[in-house]
Amino acid sequence: MTARATAVAHSNIALIKYWGKRDTAIALPATSSLSLTLDAYLTRTTVEWGAESDSVVLDGSRLNGEAESRVTRFLDLVRRLGDRSDHATVVSHNSVPTAAGLASSASGFAALAAAATAAARIDLTPRDLSILARKGSGSAARSVFGGLAVWHAGTDDASSFAEPIVDPGLDLAMVVAVVDAGTKTISSRAAMQLTAETSPYYPAWVESSRTDFTDMLDAVARADFTRVGELTESNAMRMHASMLGATPPVSYWQPDSVRVLQLVRDLRVSGTECYATMDAGPNVKILCRRTHLDTVRDAVAALDIAGVTTSLPGPGVAVSQAET
């Protein structure tokens, strides 16, 4: 019997970051995080069970090596859940430049989790889908949900899940300043592990990010855009500071990243309130109010960097088609 399903998931950008695991075996993060799912970048994945062996095609190219094993190991989890032994054909398309620090693994594993389970007729609650997606890539736990989502660090497998939180009218938008859409030099997975193992600043990161998370929940509940923005920017800078302390040091920044960070400060001074965040790549994401989206986009475009994309909050994962 063949069973096929297609799912679409959107990427998310953390305002309070996940950077480091306390348990790599079951992908438990060291700290809780909070993110905004974007409507701009998505992954569409079709999974069909009933094959002799697993195969994965991403944007027209067959995956091999570690990239393929990561998907195969994830499919093992789904096989165990559904008590099945057959294999799957996975075909995936990213609108996100893969592995460029634009959260392609988040949308990728959220879409894969939804498509693989729907095709196998495994009925999971959104929370359990988030727990499953987490084991593919931590940030994928949050892409199960639209808008603002928190991922609770938890203390065991069952308590480490994401869930949506209500936006009480923050009216958030994001401008992505694409500095370089090429593949990153070191994966977030490897870089966070190196930071946790070697950076003397890592314990300080964990401690301060815990406080940031609590403060952020409070700022969101009060719809305090300024505080949300300040926490977003300082949390990202502290994450990058912890990486600089690693041996060898990790830096994703490029000269144009710094130009964009300076622009964000200049925009604030001139009355356009916006704040920057960066992930495991040189691109800068700028958090602003929806009303300032065009102003910020035009200012970034004037820098003449690789590209600029605007985004509003996006939806949670959706199975667009399932058949048996």
Q: Does 74 bind ligand DP6 (CB under 6 A)?
A: no
From the CB of 136, what's the least distance to ligand DP6, in Å? 7
Q: Pick left, alpha or beta for residue 304 (phi over 0 → left; psi -120 to 50 → alpha; otherwise beta).
A: left
Residue 184: CB atoms within 10 Å: 21
From the CB of 29, what's the least distance to ligand DP6, in Å? 8
For the window 118-157, what string marks contact with ligand DP6 as x by the rule CB under 6 A?
A: -------------------xxx------------------
Contact 312, 294 (CB under 8 A): no
For 286, the 3-state DSSP assignment is strand
Please identify, among the stretches 12-20, 76-84, 158-166, 256-264, the one whose residues bind ligand DP6 according to the rule CB under 6 A. Answer: 12-20
The residues with which 274 forms a beta bridge, in sequence order, are 288
Residue nearest ligand DP6, CB atom distance: 138
- Of residues 49, 279, 288, 314, which one binds ligand DP6 by CB under 6 A? 279
Which residues in 17-56 contact ligand DP6 (CB under 6 A)?
A: 17-19, 27, 33
Contact 38, 13 (CB under 8 A): yes
The H-or-E segment that residue 323 falls in is: strand 318-323
Nearer to ligand DP6, 105 or 257 (CB): 105
- Tell me how far CA of residue 86 lies from CA of 49, 70, 304, in angstroms: 7, 17, 50
Q: Does 280 bind ligand DP6 (CB under 6 A)?
A: yes
Handedness of CA 270, 274, 276, 282 (dihedral sign): negative
Nearer to ligand DP6, 3 or 27 (CB): 27
Nearer to ligand DP6, 14 or 177 (CB): 14
Nearer to ligand DP6, 162 or 264 (CB): 162
- Of residues 6, 43, 45, 105, which one binds ligand DP6 by CB under 6 A? 105
Count of residues in contact with ligand DP6, rule CB under 6 A? 14
From the CB of 27, what's the least distance to ligand DP6, in Å? 6
Of 122, 150, 287, the closest CA to residue 212 belongs to: 150
Rg value, the chain, Cα = 19
- Tell me how far CA of residue 244 lies from CA of 20, 201, 208, 239, in angstroms: 14, 9, 16, 9
What helix, strand, coil percent values describe the chain, rounded to 5? 40, 25, 30
From the CB of 140, what's the least distance to ligand DP6, in Å? 7
Q: What distance in Å separates the CA atoms of residue 251 and residue 282, rounded to the nearest whole number?
A: 9
Contact 35, 48 (CB under 8 A): no
From the CB of 282, what's the least distance to ligand DP6, in Å? 12
Which residues in 204-223 contact ligand DP6 (CB under 6 A)?
A: none
- Of residues 22, 189, 210, 289, which one binds ligand DP6 by CB under 6 A? 189
From the CB of 224, what's the least distance to ligand DP6, in Å? 21
From the CB of 279, what's the least distance to ligand DP6, in Å? 4
Q: Does 188 bind ligand DP6 (CB under 6 A)?
A: yes
- Which residues sit at the interface with ligand DP6, rule CB under 6 A? 14, 17-19, 27, 33, 105, 137-139, 188-189, 279-280
